[in-house]
């Protein structure tokens, strides 16, 4: 378990990471008392948890830690009624794989951007706690009311663009309680930057605490931010999205590739986003397959440069039971033959493969290689990518 890492230190590290992901302020391990402290004076004692998990596997330990932290933190100053909770609600953006491993329909969430979900947090003095379906049932309110209240509260803390600041790039880092990445959900906030830029604004949210806003009419500046944001996104455990966001003709916030599909930086960001979310899903799905005794390769999604721009690619191997992600292209690989590439929509229409129930982003379980007549039809639809 954890190689040469001391079991007590490993447990403390996992708790610190989980407290941070739950919105706890400045979590840190206190080895003298074997506790994790956060916020002004909140303390999580670890002795009982360490005793209860002494024989746990890595997967079980992570599950125990998640349950311990969420239940302990939620018991501190948790509002008992809807009226008490109402002024504390805030929307939060999380990657689509954030709820992996949670019981079905546990957390209240909805998709707002590709591979990015909106959840609702209760903002407490020492931490934030995510609202569940069970909670809103106890409150006696419907999901739409909860989301609307959270966004209404957000509108009181967002700061629309100041025209006097000119065209300077804006970088905001959440130091606690500002919910800066959620500002994308405040109608009109991103659009308010059009006045000071004199062009469409572009926003980036590489992790859950960082927000950049830049003008869209400087290609070098924009390309530099795509590179910087991808690097930041790839090297944080609190990743959110490498994509850029802008406003369309109606003022709605959309991904930049939606309005500029030919932009190389935007196209690559979309692919990197898809690959990362599938990588997170793969790690979880491999563990689930191991627990359930399922023998299937969990295929990855990779980013490939092609003559028509960056694309995501996965591999359908001959004689291998595999679970494929939904990518732009599928590489059909068989020993003794060169691989050929087919667009995913053509693979769907020719083979009729069906998605695995309950997986988001979608995957397709493929226990066998297609019959030869279908292989030839697929080959006829192949496209060169070299």
Strands 329-334 and 337-343, how do they pair? antiparallel
Mode of pairing for the β-strands spanning 116-123 and 297-298: unpaired
pLDDT at 264: 94
Please write down the long-range contacts of 9-16, taking CB distance under 8 Å and 24 or more positions apart.
11/46, 11/49, 11/50, 11/53, 11/61, 11/65, 12/36, 12/46, 14/61, 14/62, 14/65, 15/44, 15/46, 15/49, 15/65, 15/68, 15/69
Which pLDDT value is given to residue 75? 61
pLDDT of residue 77: 62
- Res 274: pLDDT: 98
Give pLDDT, residue 3.
55
- Cα(248)–Cα(251) distance, integer angstroms: 5
CB atoms within 10 A of CB 383: 13
Q: How far is CA 94 from the centre of its chain?
A: 5
pLDDT of residue 74: 64
pLDDT of residue 102: 64
Q: Which residues of the chain have pLDDT under 70?
A: 1-3, 40-41, 74-77, 101-105, 126-127
Judge contact between 331 and 315, C-beta under 8 A. yes
List of long-range contacts for 140-149, beta carbons under 8 Å, 24+ apart: 140/82, 141/82, 143/108, 143/110, 146/89, 146/108, 146/120, 147/91, 147/110, 147/118, 147/120, 149/86, 149/89
């Amino acid at each position: 378990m954890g190689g040469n890492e001391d079991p007590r230190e490993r447990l403390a590290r996992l708790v610190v990471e989980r407290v941070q992901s739950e919105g706890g302020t400045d979590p840190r391990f206190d080895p003298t008392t074997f506790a994790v402290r956060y916020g002004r004076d909140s303390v999580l004692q670890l002795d009982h948890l360490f005793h209860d998990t002494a024989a746990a596997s890595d997967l079980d330990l992570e599950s125990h830690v998640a349950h311990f932290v969420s239940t302990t933190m939620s018991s501190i100053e948790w509002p008992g009624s809807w009226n008490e909770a109402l002024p504390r609600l805030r929307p939060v953006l999380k990657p689509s794989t954030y709820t992996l491993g949670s019981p079905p329909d546990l957390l209240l969430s909805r998709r707002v951007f590709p591979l990015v979900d909106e959840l609702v947090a209760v903002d407490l003095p020492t931490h934030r706690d995510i609202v569940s379906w069970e909670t809103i049932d106890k409150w006696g309110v419907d999901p739409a009311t909860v989301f609307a209240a959270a966004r209404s509260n957000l509108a009181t803390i967002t700061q629309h663009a100041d025209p006097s600041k000119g065209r300077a790039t804006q970088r905001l880092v959440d130091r606690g309680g500002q919910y800066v990445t959620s500002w994308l959900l405040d109608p009109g906030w991103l659009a308010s930057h059009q006045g000071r830029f004199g062009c469409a604004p572009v926003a980036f949210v590489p992790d859950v605490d960082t927000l950049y806003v830049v003008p869209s009419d400087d290609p070098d500046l924009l390309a530099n931010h795509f590179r910087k944001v991808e690097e930041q996104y790839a090297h944080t455990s609190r990743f959110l999205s490498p994509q850029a966001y802008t406003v369309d003709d109606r003022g709605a916030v959309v991904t930049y590739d939606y309005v500029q599909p030919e932009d190389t930086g935007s196209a690559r960001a979309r692919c990197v986003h898809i690959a990362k979310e599938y990588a997170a899903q793969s790690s979880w799905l491999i563990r689930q397959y191991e627990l359930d005794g399922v023998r299937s390769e969990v295929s990855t999604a990779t980013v490939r440069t092609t003559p028509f721009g960056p694309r995501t690619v996965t591999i359908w191997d001959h004689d291998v039971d595999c679970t494929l992600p939904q990518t732009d292209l599928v590489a059909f690989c068989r020993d003794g033959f060169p691989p050929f590439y087919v667009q995913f929509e053509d693979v769907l229409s020719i083979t009729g493969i069906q998605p695995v129930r309950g997986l988001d982003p979608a995957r397709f379980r493929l226990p066998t290689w297609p019959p030869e007549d279908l292989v030839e039809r697929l080959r006829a639809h192949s496209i060169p990518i070299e």
